[in-house]
Amino acid sequence: MAIWTDYLISHVNRDSNGNVRKVLPHIVYGETVSSGSVGTEEEVIYLLKIGYSIKTILWEES
């Protein structure tokens, strides 16, 4: 299966002013996805600048 994106973001934490504090990106491995690792907005911007693709998702645990 072709990888359709490099990372998925399932959660964004914002402060009381609406500024992004933390994000939860997951690495896409074809048909599977990592459990995620807390990151910052700056880290996501860096990944985009160096050419990675990132999509957002709604994550539901089953």
pLDDT value of residue 31 = 87
The answer as to whether 51 is a domain residue is: yes
pTM above 0.95? Answer: no
pLDDT higher than 60, residue 1: no
Phi, psi of 28, deg, nearest 5: -95, 125
Number of domains in the chain: 1
Q: Say what the alpha-carbon torsion angle 48, 19, 34, 53 is, to the nearest 10 degrees.
A: -20
The answer as to whether 2 is a domain residue is: no
Host domain of residue 27: 7-56
Which residue matches tokens 């048909």?
A: 31
The answer as to whether 1 is a domain residue is: no
Q: Do 58 and 10 touch, CB atoms closer than 8 A?
A: yes
- What are 10-62's pLDDT values in tens digits? 999 999 999 999 999 999 998 899 999 999 999 999 999 999 999 999 877 66
pLDDT higher than 70, residue 2: no
pLDDT value of residue 3 = 73
